Amino acid sequence: MNTKLSIIELDVLKTLNSQEGATQREIAEMNGASLGSVNGAIVKLRELGYISAENTLTDEAKELLKGTKPQNAVILAAGFGMRMVPINTVYPKAMLKVHGEVLIERLIRQLHEAGITKIDVVVGFMKESFEYLIDEYGVNLITNRDYASKENLHSLKLASAQLGNTYVIPSDIWFRENPFAECEPYSWYMVAESKNAHSRVKLNRNKELIDIGNSTNKKLKMMGVAYISNIDADEVRIRIAKFSDQDDCYWEDALYTESRPRKMMLLAKKVPENFAVGINTYDQLCTFDSGSESLQSDAIDILAKVFDVDTSEITNIEVLKKGMTNRSFLFRCKGEKYIMRIPGEGTERLINREHEYQVYEAIKDKGISDDIIYFDVKNGYKVTKFLENTRNCDPEDWEEVAKCMKVLRKFHSLDLKVEHDFDIFGEIELYEKLWGENKSIYRDYTKTKQKIYKLKQFVDSLNPHRCLAHIDAVPDNFLFCNHGGGKDDIRIIDWEYAGMQDPHVDLAMFSLYSMYSKDEIDKLNNIYFDGACNNENRAKIYAYISICGLLWSNWCEYKRQLGVEFGEYSLKQYRYAKEYYKYASELIESL
Confidence bin at 75 (pLDDT 50/70/90): very high
Q: What is the C-alpha to C-alpha distance for residues 159 and 373, in angstroms, rounded to an integer?
A: 46
Print the SS3 string covering 261-278.
Answer: CCEEEEEEEEECCCCEEE
Which part of the chain is CATH 3.90.1200.10? 392-590
Q: Counting every residue, how long is the chain?
A: 591
Pairing mode, if any, of strands 173-175 and 276-278? antiparallel
Q: What is the C-alpha to C-alpha distance for residues 269 and 442, in angstroms, rounded to an integer?
A: 49
DSSP class of residue 291?
T
Q: Is the pLDDT of residue 584 over 80?
A: yes
Q: Could you read off the pLDDT of 19-60 as tens digits, one per residue?
A: 888 888 888 887 878 899 989 989 998 988 899 888 889 988
Task: Compute the average pLDDT of residues 344-355.
Answer: 78
CATH tag, 392-590: 3.90.1200.10
Q: CB–CB of 70/61 below 8 Å?
A: no
Q: CB–CB of 330/339 below 8 Å?
A: yes
CATH tag, 297-367+371-383: 3.30.200.20
**What residue ranges in 250-364 does DSSP mark as E strands?**
263-271, 276-278, 315-319, 326-333, 336-343
Task: Compute the average pLDDT of residues 296-303.
Answer: 83
Q: What is the C-alpha to C-alpha distance for residues 244 and 234, in angstroms, rounded to an integer?
A: 15
pLDDT at residue 82, rounded to an integer:
61
CA dihedral angle for residue 236, residue 241, residue 243, residue 248, rounded to 10 degrees: 100
Q: CB–CB of 24/38 below 8 Å?
A: yes
Q: How far apart are the first and last CA of the chain?
A: 82
pLDDT at residue 85, rounded to an integer:
67
Long-range contacts of 229-236, Cβ-Cβ distance < 8 Å, separation of 24 or more: 229/68, 229/164, 229/165, 229/184, 229/186, 229/187, 230/67, 230/164, 230/165, 231/186, 231/187, 232/187, 232/265, 232/266, 233/163, 233/164, 233/165, 233/166, 235/265, 236/160, 236/163, 236/265
Q: CB–CB of 357/375 below 8 Å?
A: yes
At residue 420, the 3 state secondary structure works out as coil
Confidence bin at 2 (pLDDT 50/70/90): very low
* 336 φ, ψ (degrees, to nearest 5): -120, 160
More confident residue, 5 or 75: 75
CATH of 72-278 among 3.90.550.10, 3.40.50.300, 3.50.30.50, 1.10.8.60: 3.90.550.10
Among the residue ranges 192-201, 246-255, 397-406, 522-531, the one predicted with the least confidence is 192-201
Which part of the chain is CATH 3.30.200.20? 297-367+371-383
230: enclosing H helix or E strand: helix 230-243
* Count of other CB atoms within 10 angstroms of residue 489: 13
Q: Could you read off the pLDDT of 415-431 as tens digits, one per residue?
A: 999 999 999 999 999 99
In sequence order, the β-bridge partners of residue 208 are 267
Q: CB–CB of 329/339 below 8 Å?
A: yes
Contacts of 361 (CB under 8 A, 6+ apart): none
Question: Between 35-47 and 24-31, two packed helices, what is the crossing angle to 10 degrees?
Answer: 120
Which part of the chain is CATH 3.90.550.10? 72-278
CATH of 7-64 among 1.10.238, 1.10.3470, 1.10.10, 3.40.50: 1.10.10
Question: Between 505-514 and 535-561, two packed helices, what is the crossing angle to 10 degrees?
Answer: 60
Q: What is the C-alpha to C-alpha distance for residues 366 and 71, in angstroms, rounded to an integer?
A: 65
pLDDT at residue 197, rounded to an integer:
62
Print the SS3 string covering 430-481.
Answer: HHHHHCCCCCCCCCCHHHHHHHHHHHHHHHHHCCCCCEEECCCCCHHHEEEE
Q: Could you read off the pLDDT of 300-348 as tens digits, one per residue?
A: 889 999 999 998 898 888 877 555 456 788 899 999 999 998 886 667 7
Q: How far is CA 404 from the centre of its chain?
A: 29
Q: Is the pLDDT of residue 260 over 70?
A: no
Which part of the chain is CATH 1.10.10? 7-64
Among the residue ranges 285-299, 445-459, 481-495, 547-561, the one predicted with the least confidence is 285-299
Distances 502 to 85, 422, 467 between C-alpha atoms, Å: 36, 9, 7
pTM: 0.68
Print the SS3 string covering 11-69.
Answer: HHHHHHHHCCCCCHHHHHHHHCCCHHHHHHHHHHHHHCCCECCCCCECHHHHHHCCCCC
pLDDT at residue 306, rounded to an integer:
93
Closest to 92 in 3D by CA, of 62, 130, 36, 53: 130
Confidence bin at 145 (pLDDT 50/70/90): confident
